[in-house]
A and B are shown apart, each in its own frame.
Chain A
């Protein structure tokens, strides 16, 4: 979900800005598994290089002590012919590692060359190279390996390297081609082209560095596979069995029935060495992505600790949630002085937990949603508005955690229930039955491989198991009709629908169970204005007809003013102003709201001066002291840096009641007058 990751990025950025190799090493030390993998691999590589010089015996020299158990003279015992197993292992390491890394180098070079060239060039070159790769992919690799090995028995390691590379490069080339194809379409590659960069440099600087993780993974994978293949071939006697490798040790052990005679020291070291190298390489492989991707280098996103903290359940007040029975009461149009509260959020605080650091994304937020009301929540990125949406529905995921507050839902029959203390089973029923969510990106929220009708049916089936197939089908047709999708599109897949249609399908799913509240998180942001208008009008029409309440979240203040009854403006995790939409538009109180309103170009009427707001939205982890808007505020005074403003109640004669978190209103009308002068 784009919004959540964006919110995370906002909360997680720039923890430690010291960059460069020192940070890399520190990260490495913090990841013991990767470290261990690297060390083991390095040890084997060193042994492979120096093995023949430090080996105590010639591995082929026959001695008298046949099949001797490990002793001081022979650390790993001897073979049936009295050869020293330890020396054989050392010599074998060289052959095995040479084959492993040698084939990996050749394979990787081949697949990078073919894959990246094919992917970047496209056209005929791509088709020819892909055809070539496909031919090699369908070659039966195992028989080919055996045949080639049988024809080249005395070529030593080089023959095996050749065999493994020839049969192995095509797979990597295909993966890299696909990656290159998708990278080529990315904006930064296009930006580099538009700057006038040469193709070779784009490949070297933009394409390859972004594929290092894949290339490294395929390299390490090939090393393991090659060592295993070489061992298997040698074990089967398909290579030169007089050349020492771990595979040949196993071959001789097997030929001489070491297992039957109980000479465990003969085959266990070779087997262990193969397993150990494989494991070590896998460990390095797991860690590699973190080191290459600067985004993942930041520690602690979604760590176990944060997850554990999340699991801590809150069983404070158990109010049983019952499924509503019977029809909803007839809808009463919403009026400004209505007191029929359907959702009451009190002092809600949501924090992103990172180790011991806790970043409040939603800080002490309270509001009420009345039946039939449209509450618009406006805010910029990092204001906490999406975190709030997820918290209300309890769809927030670690590291986000609700640390304080309560959310009380009042059903149409007057029964109240605390959403935060609801056990999971009840929550599932509550969500969608009473409160449903329409997400920003319909393309991502809809399952791409399920027909739209089936997705609606899924929701109905899960919550209304009693309905028959016909009843469900009828309901689907009804829902599609409500949101204005022709019934025959129920069989379409999401990608076959236009953006507006998909968003309508999302709304249909949200409406499927006739909920009391719909939370809409930027439902029209990705759409064009004409389509946005169609969707918004549809939502308003449905709201009037079905009588649900809406929490509409967006950054588009002008849209919000048009469609909301009440507007809440969020800044730095807090609600800074709340008022009826008309009052808000006529008389914004908070300097931030005034700035926001003065940032929107208007179409109607004479052109007015756009002033905007200086600076940029605050970093939630380093909120300014006092009022968090102070650094950008044109009318800030001394107290603003020390006193944190509460939401002050305002009662102006010419408008309804409103609230604003600004010290200008701390002492009532006098200060407000001053504000008027400033304006």
Chain B
């Protein structure tokens, strides 16, 4: 594993963004609730898993999608992979809307957009060897090669992910390998398609701490070498700060804040992002006080009206209970969906209160910049 400068790839020219490779435009996904008798007159009950989410993935750039379990972040990744049909909205690949639920169109889509799953132990068929799993991927995406050619493809893939010599791994069963090795192999499986977009769903959450960095560096290297886009889905906002250029935070199916990772983590604007950051273990903070929170994510069958965070939000106003917040741009590229940033008397007062609270929580860290207040 190379010891890599972690600021690599962070510098990017703002303002002259290239075209996004893959884009979610106002994507909504409702899952029907099974069971229970349908009541007359009422609509079928649904889980509002993802609500009106837009997201852009750029070539050669890693975008983090941060949220707790149930925030809809994994569902969004699967929607981008076309594993589920959308309820509404669009997924665009190079600006062209994609609807590819099955068959040839679906395979065409997944050959360009590959999903990497969280649990390396679960994502391999336990009764198949590594070679046979990889051979299947090679057979799909390198259909024109013969048997020897596919073996060469597999060797090449394993070499790219630093599992050498490849022969030492191909004949093993999944349970004979470590989590880190398996996760590298699932990256190799995604590489077989030579995709333009990687959707990595918590790729390192179930790995040991000391080997996470190696896998993340591998993913970063692959993204840069191939100029591919990557969505890095994670619950660990600290890793998003180090690993991703942009960070989007989701709560209860909605995007609450998005922007450059450094801005989102250092000048978190949305009270939920602030709570998330204050809750993360961080010895460097010392004994600084924390936000007291005893709440829980809401039910997504009957989500709260207005802002979905308002029942837990210490700064909630009347407006938050009634209206869904719109997006406010705080600095270039950094937006928050929170009424605190509206330009009216009450919001200004609450915003000042929020800034004071956040300043108290941090030791030696400046309060969030407030571009609208000047």
Contact = CB atoms under 8 A, between A and B. Distances in A.
A562 B176 CA distance: 35
Contacts of A605: 284, 364-365
A195 B237 contact: no
A533 B282 CA distance: 11
B176 A197 contact: no
Interface in A551-603: 555-559, 561-562, 585, 595-596, 599-603
Interface size class of A (residues with CB under 8 A): 35 or more
Interface string B122-133: 111111110010
Interface residues of B, number: 82
Contacts of B239: 601
Contacts of A193: 83
B290 A533 contact: yes
Contact of A191 (B3, B123, B238, B285): B123
A380 B114 CA distance: 29
Contacts of B193: 195-196
B353 to A, nearest CB: 21
A187 B284 contact: no
Q: Which of B107, B115, B125 has the most chain A CB within a 10 Å cutoff? A: B125
Contact of B285 (A17, A529, A604, A614): A604
Contacts of A531: 68, 296
A190 interface: yes
Contacts of B277: 603
Interface stretch (A72-80, A290-298, A645-653): A290-298
B225 interface: no
A198 B106 CA distance: 10
B6 to A, nearest CB: 5
B172 interface: yes
B180 interface: yes
Contact of B209 (A294, A484, A596): A596
Contacts of B241: 601, 603, 607
Contacts of A19: 129, 171-173
A194 B122 contact: no
Nearest to B199: A194
Contact of B178 (A192, A292, A616): A616
A139 to B, nearest CB: 28
A621 B208 CA distance: 19
A311 B341 CA distance: 68
Contact of A206 (B81, B125, B172, B281): B125
Contact of B127 (A197, A209, A498, A614): A209
Interface string A181-193: 0000011101111
Interface stretch (B13-21, B86-94, B135-143, B146-154): B135-143
B28 interface: no
B281 A556 contact: yes
A194 B110 contact: yes
A50 interface: no
Contacts of B212: 599, 612
B31 interface: no
Contacts of A595: 210
Contacts of A557: 209
Contacts of B127: 209-210, 212, 292-294
A496 interface: no
B293 interface: yes
B296 A498 contact: yes
A587 to B, nearest CB: 13
A256 interface: no
B283 A561 contact: yes
Contacts of B265: 603
B117 to A, nearest CB: 5
B3 A612 contact: yes
A381 B283 contact: no
Nearest to A608: B6
B280 interface: yes
A604 B293 contact: no
Interface in B161-180: 171-173, 175-176, 178-180
A611 B140 CA distance: 37
B29 interface: no
A612 B213 contact: yes
B110 to A, nearest CB: 4
Given A195-B110, A611-B213, 7 more contacts: A188-B125, A190-B117, A294-B173, A380-B209, A601-B238, A612-B210, A613-B213
Interface of A: 9, 13-14, 17, 19, 186-188, 190-198, 201, 205-206, 209-210, 212, 292-295, 380-381, 484, 498-500, 528-534, 537, 555-559, 561-562, 585, 595-596, 599-605, 607, 609-617, 632
23 contacts: A14-B172, A188-B126, A191-B115, A191-B117, A194-B110, A195-B190, A196-B110, A205-B125, A205-B136, A209-B127, A209-B128, A533-B293, A534-B293, A595-B210, A596-B209, A601-B242, A601-B243, A602-B238, A603-B282, A610-B6, A610-B213, A612-B213, A613-B211
Interface of B: 1, 3, 5-7, 68-69, 81, 83, 106-107, 110-111, 114-115, 117-119, 122-129, 132, 136-137, 140-141, 171-173, 175-176, 178-181, 186, 189-190, 192-193, 208-214, 217, 235-239, 241-243, 262, 265, 275-285, 290, 293-294, 296, 362-365
Closest 7 CB pairs of A and B: A612-B213, A187-B122, A559-B281, A533-B279, A528-B68, A194-B115, A380-B208
